[in-house]
Structure 1
Amino acid sequence: MAQRSLTQDAPASPGFATIALRVALIYAAARVVTTVFLLVAGQLSGFDSRFGPDAGLGDLVLGWDARWYWIVAETGYPSELPRTDAGEVAENQWAFMPVYAYLAKVVAIPFGQWVVGAFIVSIVAGYAASVALYYLLRERLDSTAAMWAVAFFAAGPLAALFQVGYAESLFLVWLFLALWCVVRRRYVWLYLLIPLMGYTRPGVLAFALFLGLFGIWRFVTRWREPLAGREVAHIVALGLLAVVVGFSWQLLAGWVTGESGAYLATELAWRRNWIPGDAAFFPLEGFVSASAFWFGSVWGLSAELGYLVLAASVAGVAAILLFVPQVKRLGVEVRLWSASYLIYLLLVFFPQSSIFRLLVPLSPLWGAFAVPRSTAWRVSVLALCTLGQWWWIYNMYALGNAIWQIP
């Protein structure tokens, strides 16, 4: 009797089809809201906006960096770097990886327009990423919390990326699957996922750092979970693969153009939109320069205050990842990935308005917001996500006419 009672009290885990349907309903509802926001933003777009008056959905899908992916799909990559009148390397296609651009081109074949293929790839990849995120978080959270985290993700402040021609949603599919593989110790799949990540958008070097930190953690805690030689070999080989993939694009750009620093010079070309003149790169330089730029030049405060805020922010984020119980619930893999990606950004990125978009790979942290069981809390978070989504769409797509309104 006792055994039968226990069996009856333990509900069976929902199957994949059930989970996929639940996620689909949440994702579809979120996409309806995003579509309404984009339509309203198009109507609010004026002569001062990048998109002009009465912009349509197609205009917004192909807006901003999406146009660069379209150029990649139509013309490929230049063998000679374009130059400005001052002789500096100008913005060009080498800053954008090929997988998303060419996949959208293939999908667009029946429709005859790349923008349609880009929309389809983005929205389908966003759904696939939502399913993958559920299963990643389900390793540490109950089904209800994981599903709420998916809702936050699908309706989050940057959810418009699931409907425009950006590579983020496709990258997130590979990333969430890769993290799930690490959690489940299914390393073989990573030999495919790492190259897919690396040639979809920048960030695979952060995954290399993650694998290094994860390997150290596995070694230190091997008394809790045995560490076989085969697992060590996989972690080391995959870490090296991620490094090779991460630097291969720079080598390819240098080989095709005949300029060894082609990729770096291309990336720095975008920085001149913020800080004119010759730009140099070394680790941490971007955040240090940006602290002085934003606090000193733009906001009229002091550069020293900017440096202080930067240091305090780094310490605060480290404390959150180390000590906040809701974050710790997500597991060491998600925390190590989050730390690795933030370190990567700190080392290589010049923070400006795109920082919001570049933080999207931290989406597994939505699970921490879903841990509290209060329905009022979860509904409030979802409402704030939706409000933040409108704020981002309004500024980046309805307005898009100020230095901080570039996605």
Structure 2
Amino acid sequence: MAKLHVADRASVPQGHGVGSSAPTPDVERAGGSPRRVRFPIGRRLLPGASPALALFFSIRLAGIGAIALANHHHGHALFKGLATSWDSRWYLHIAEHGYGTRAHVLATTGAVQRDWAFFPLYPGLIRAVHTVLPVPWDAAALLVAWCAAGVAAYGVYAIGHHVYGRAVATALVGVWAALPHAVVLDIAYTESLLTALAAWSLYSVLTGRWLWAGALAALAGLSRPTGFAVAAAVGVVAVREVIGRRGRVPPGLWIGAALAPLGWVGFVLWVGRHTGDLLGGYFKVQHAWDSRFDFGAGSLHFLKALLLYGGRVVYPLALVLVVAAVVLFCLLCFDRAPLPLIVYAGMLVLITLGGSGPYASKPRFLLPAFPLLFPIALAFARSWRVRPKHVLLVGSALAVLSLAYGTYLLTASRTPL
């Protein structure tokens, strides 16, 4: 996709913020000095956020409805499928019983898969909700995941609004809600939690709120193994600011940059301490799950097997989505997106390409990489001004296909998410 022409950019507000020389709509000039506007979490939402959030929840509620119909057709309970699919059972067990209480021995290799592979923030929030509210464990898990999805959608909108304006931000939220693997936002998984923390940490970086950026990045590092991508984005931009200003930066920047990696590093060291190998214990735990960075060797082996022997629809589509992510990342860089968004999305793409493990899960790993969707959102926003009916038709068709595929993944496919 080509970059917007000058005329297009004039009608699509933008503000690349930190890491770019473009104007920032969240900073107003008064008397020659910058005046920062309020953080967009309070009594009032950002302009245009309500329709965007309504679009997001409409799509995801339709997804839950489709899953309910499919489960009813197969004679399955709705909430059992949403709260206890694949890895969800591990999170629920950790929330109820703590770490070091569950292990699974693979019959094929004899590897012992332990619960230490799962990061603690999500099960900790499940336990907190279950303690405070009179709800069962599975309902608490879904409540946390669904609330996180809503916060994530608003964070995605906030970044889109800050960078390009209302139209692109709305399209960005809609596209993110209708991704083929967005069904993960409906179940007890951690992608919604990571996206929420990442979006608001990156927004804090873009608006110069370094303490918030560091604290939220630290929490993101406690949510998923890929959460350290947020800390990497905070750290790279902090280094750029220090170099650009020759060290004359506010104290909050130093503190935020120092806070950012503490969550991920702290949990890795904690697992290492409990396994008797401080620096390598966590990675040994992950190796038993066939999760390691092998510089793409596993991906190449999968591609060879897919070309020679073929596979179910899940595998070719996973390959298409990964390739699309690489193309979108190149377009994101070509359009000179803000540096924190490029670093964050680039880290997730790099981890996905270079990591081992089930290839069918790779599109799920990319779900939190919402900055990759900016080129698509820009195309939708530009087309909306010319052919709104066509945009509605294409968007609706894509959403229906996504919901159908997500329902298949959760109710009919035997491939792990």
Partner of 2:308: 300
The letter of the residue matching 1:319 is C
Corresponding residue of 1:146: 169
1:54 is displaced (CA, Å) by: 2.7
Kindly provide the CA deviation profile for residues 142-169 of structure 1, in whole angstroms up to 9, marking residues without a partner as x. 2122112112222332332222111111
The corresponding residue for 2:343 is: 336
Cα distance per residue 1:355-376 (max 9 Å; x no partner): 0110012113323212132132
Is residue 65 of structure 1 aligned with residue 83 of structure 2? no
Residue 313 of structure 1, CA deviation = 8.4
Give the corresponding residue for 2:143.
120
Alpha-carbon distance in structure 1 between the residues aligned to 2:97 and 2:143:
21
Q: 2:378 aligns with which of 362, 371, 388?
A: 371
Q: C-alpha displacement at 1:228, in angstroms? A: 5.6
Structure 1 residue runs without a partner (length 5+) = 1-9, 46-52, 272-278, 303-308
Equivalent residue, structure 2, for 1:352: 359
Match of 2:220 in 1: 197
CA distance in 2, matches of 1:169, 1:151: 15
Corresponding position of 2:193:
170
1:96 shift after superposition? 1.1
Distance of 2:403 and 2:210 partners within structure 1? 35
Q: Pick from 333, 344, 358: which aligns with 1:322? A: 333
Is 1:406 the counterpart of 2:416? The answer is: yes
1:263 to 271, 282, 286: 282
TM-score w.r.t. the length of structure 1 is 0.76
Distance in 2 (alpha carbons) for counterparts of 1:131 and 1:340 = 22
Where in structure 2 are the equivalents of 1:86-125 lying within 5 Å?
88-109=110-131, 110-125=133-148
Gaps of 5+ in 2: 1-12, 14-24, 27-39, 311-319
For 1:239 and 1:350, the matched residues in 2 are separated by 31
1:35–1:338 CA distance, 2 compared to 1 (3 A): same
Which residue in 2 is equivalent to 1:7? none
Whole-angstrom CA distance in 2 between matches of 1:315 and 1:122: 28
> Are the counterparts in 2 of residues 122 and 163 from structure 1 also a CA contact under 8 Å?
yes
Partner of 2:65: 36
- TM-score (ref. length: structure 2): 0.75
Structure 1's consecutive aligned runs of 4 or more residues displaced over 6 angstroms after TM superposition are 79-82, 311-315
8 Å contact kept, 1:156–1:386: no
Give the drift of 1:343.
2.5
Render the CA deviation track for 1:5-40: whole Å, top value 9, x for unaligned.
xxxxx9x99952764533442233123211122113
Is the Cα–Cα contact under 8 Å of residues 328 and 373 in structure 2 kept in the other structure? no
Q: Equivalents in 1 of 2:323, 2:149: separation in Å?
A: 34
**Aligned partner of 1:284: which letter?**
D
Task: Summarize the alignment of residues 3-18 of structure 1 with structure 2, pairs less than 5 Å apart.
Answer: 16=45
What is the CA distance between 1:107 and its match in structure 2?
1.7
Q: Whole-Å Cα distance in 1 between the matches of residues 344 and 304 of structure 2?
A: 32
SS at match of 1:91: strand
Number of equivalent positions: 359
CA distance in 2, matches of 1:333, 1:17: 21
CA–CA distance in 2 between the matches of 1:313 and 1:142? 25
Distance of aligned partners of 1:377 and 1:332 in 2 relative to their CA distance in 1, 3 Å threshold: farther
Letter in 2 for 1:289: G
Distance 1:26 1:317, change over 3 A: closer
CA offset at residue 85 of structure 1? 6.9
Q: Is the 8 A contact 1:94 1:263 kept in 2?
A: yes
Counterpart CA distance in 2 for 1:313 and 1:138 is 24
Map 1:194-233 → 2, pairs under 5 A: 194-215=217-238, 217-218=240-241, 222=244, 229-231=248-250
Which of 346-355 and 156-165 deviates more? 346-355
Residue 27 (1) aligns with residue 37 (2): no
Q: Which residue is equivalent to 1:250?
A: 268
The CA RMSD over aligned residues, in Å, is 3.4
Structure 1 residue 159 and structure 2 residue 177: aligned?
no
Query: SS in structure 1 opposite 2:260?
Result: helix
Aligned 8 A contact 1:157 1:389 in 2: yes
Partner SS, residue 289 of structure 2: helix
- Residue 248 of structure 1 aligns to which amino acid in structure 2? G
Whole-Å separation in 1 of the counterparts to 2:46 and 2:160: 18
Contact 1:353–1:406 under 8 Å retained in 2: yes
Distance (Å, rounded) in 2 between the aligned partners of 1:177 and 1:312: 27
Which of 389, 397, 412 is residue 383 of structure 1 equivalent to? 397
Specify the code of the residue in structure 1 equivalent to 2:272: G
Deviation (angstroms), 1:176: 0.4
For residues 198-237 of structure 1, what are the alpha-carbon distances to aligned partners after superposition, in whole Å with 9 as ceiling and x for unaligned?
11112232233323432454467x4xxx566225x65565
Distance (whole Å) between structure 1 residues aligned to residue 355 and residue 258 of structure 2: 20
Q: What SS does the aligned partner of 1:139 have?
A: helix
Contact 1:187 1:234 in 2 (8 A): yes
